[in-house]
Chains A and B, each alone.
Chain A
Amino acid sequence: MNDQASDPAEQPATLLQAQRLGLSRNQEVIFGPLDFSLHPGEVVLIEGDNGSGKTTLLRILSGLLEPYDGEVLLHGEPLTLARLSHQVALLGHLLGLKLELTALENLRFSIGLGGIRRGITPELALASVGLEGYEDQPIRTMSAGQRKRVALARLLLVPAGLWLLDEPYANLDREGIELVNRLLDHHIHRGGAALITSHGAYAYTSGMPRRIRLKAAA
C-alpha cells in the first residue's frame, strides 16, 4: 500500500481522491458513500439540491471538517490541513472579505497570507474580474455580485493549484457567470484543478466537466 503511494508511476498524479466518503448526522445519512478522484487540469462539478451536503463535502475536502466515514487522499496520502494549505484556495459562501476595508486592502491581505503568483498584481486581478476603478471602494458599499468578484480576484492572486468553490455562480449576472467560466478555463489550462458546487441552475459549460450528483441515501 505504502509502496504504491510513493511510486509516481503507479498513481499518475491524482490530486485528490475520496474513498467511501460519507456523512451522517444524528444517525441519518446525508450523502455517501462517495468515491471520486480529481486530476490536475480537471473540473469536477458537485451537484445537488439544497441541503444535500455540498457545502459540507467541500469543507471536508478543504480539511476544515473531519470526514465521518471513509477518507480523503491528497497525492495518495491522507489529507491534513497542514499538507493541503499550500495548494488550496477556498471560496466559501462566506467570502472572507472585510467590509470596512477597500477591495485593494482586502486583496493585499490575502497576498500576505497566501503569497502571490508571478506576473500578476492586485490591480491587474481586479481589472480582469471587471472591477477596474473600484480599487479604493470599501466592500461595504459594493453589491453582492461585486463582492463575489473581489473574492474571485483573490483566487487569481493566490498560488494554489486546487480551487474549492462553493456556489461560485451565486449572485452573479450573466456576464459574471461567463467570467467564472473563463477563470476556470484559464486555471485548468495552467494545470490547476477545481471542485465546484452548484445547485444546478448555472454550471460550468466549456469542456465536459465530470459531475457528481449528491443524493440523500435515504
Chain B
Amino acid sequence: MKYGTTGAACAALLKRDLLLVWRRRGDALNPLLFAIIVVSLFPFALGPERTVLERIAAGTIFVAELLAMLLSLDTLFRSDLEDGSLEQLVVSPHPLSLLLACKIFIHWMTTALPLIVIAPLLAELLHLPDRVLPVLLVALLLSTPLLSLIGAVCVALTIGMRRSGMLLTLLVLPLIVPVLIFGAGACNAAQSGFAFHAPLLWLGAWLVLALVLAPLAAAAALKISLS
C-alpha cells in the first residue's frame, strides 16, 4: 500500500481545480467581463474630460476589480459541497487548511490574476497617469489575495445555509473596506505626488497575516458548516 503524501494531495487538488476551471472557462471569464463593462461605462456617464477621468481612474478600477472578485466568491466551495467532494477532502488524511489554501490559490489565480493583467488596459481607458500604474498594480497584487483569503473564511462560514449570497456580501463588505481604502489610498497618494509606501506596506502586512491565519480559520469554519 502507498499512502499519498500531503504534497501529492496538494498537487492533485491544484491540477483538478485548474482542469475544472478550464472545462468551465465560460464561467471563469464572467468577472473579467464584469470589470471591463463597469470601467468602460464610467466615461459614458461622467463625460470624456481627461481631468475628471484621471481623478477617478485608480479608485474606479479598484472598486470594479474587487466587486468582480466578490461575484465569483460564492463558487469557491459551492460545487464541492454540492457533489460531496468537500466531505472527501475533510476525511482525507491531509490537513484541511492546506488543501483549502490550494483551492484559494487557484481561485485567486483564475479570477484575480486575469483582472490584474487587464488593469493596464483599464487604466489607459480612464487616462490614469503612467507613473501611477505601477503603484496600482502593486496595490492590486497585494489586495486581491487578501480578498480571496478573507472571502474564503466568510464563504466557509455561510456555506451551510441555503441562499447565503446576501449574508456573504454583508459579511465580506466591512472586511474589504479597509483593503479598498489602503489600496486606492496608495494610488491617490502617488497621483498627488505624496509618499505611497506606507499603505502598501500595511496591505503587505495584512496579507502575510491572512496567508497564515485565513486557511486555518476557513478549515475550522468549514468543519462547523458541514456538521
Contacts and interface: CB of A to CB of B under 8 A. Distances in A.
Interface in B195-224: 223
Interface in B83-137: 83-85, 87-94
Given A66-B227, A115-B3, A98 B85 contact: yes
Interface in A93-133: 93-101, 105, 108-118
B8 A86 contact: no
B162 interface: no
Contacts of A84: 91
Given A96-B84, A101-B20, A118-B1, A113 B12 contact: yes
B226 interface: yes
A149 B103 CA distance: 27
Most buried by A among B3, B11, B82, B89: B3
Given A98-B16, A101-B16, A101-B20, A113 B88 contact: yes
**Chain A: interface size category:** 35 or more
Contact of A81 (B3, B9, B23, B90): B90
B4 interface: yes
Contacts of B24: 100
B84 A92 contact: yes
Interface in B14-63: 15-16, 19-20, 23-24
A117 to B, nearest CB: 5
Contacts of A109: 12-13, 15-16
Contacts of B1: 115-118, 159
B20 A98 contact: yes
A105 B85 CA distance: 14
Contacts of B163: none
Interface stretch (A7-15, A57-65, A70-78, A173-181): A57-65
Nearest to B226: A64
Contacts of A59: 227
B87 A112 contact: no
**Chain B: interface size category:** 20 to 34
Contacts of A108: 12
B9 A96 contact: no
Nearest to B95: A82
A156 to B, nearest CB: 13
Given A85-B92, A114-B4, A115-B4, A105 B16 contact: yes
A90 interface: yes
Interface string B58-87: 000000000000000000000100111101
A88 B83 contact: no
Given A98-B16, A101-B20, A109-B16, A115 B83 contact: no
Nearest to B10: A112
A85 B13 CA distance: 17
Given A64-B226, A98-B16, A159 B2 contact: yes
Contacts of B82: 94
Contacts of B79: 98
Contacts of A81: 90-91, 223
A115 B116 CA distance: 37
Contacts of A85: 91-94
A55 to B, nearest CB: 11
A50 B18 CA distance: 39
B224 to A, nearest CB: 10
Contacts of A159: 1-3
Most buried by B among A86, A88, A110: A110
8 contacts: A81-B223, A86-B3, A96-B85, A97-B85, A98-B16, A99-B83, A100-B19, A114-B93
Given A95-B84, A96-B85, A114-B4, 14 more contacts: A64-B91, A84-B91, A85-B92, A92-B84, A94-B82, A95-B83, A98-B79, A98-B83, A101-B19, A108-B12, A109-B13, A112-B15, A113-B94, A159-B2
Which 10 pairs from chain A and chain B are nearest by CB?
A112-B12, A94-B84, A96-B84, A115-B4, A159-B1, A115-B3, A100-B23, A85-B93, A96-B88, A86-B93
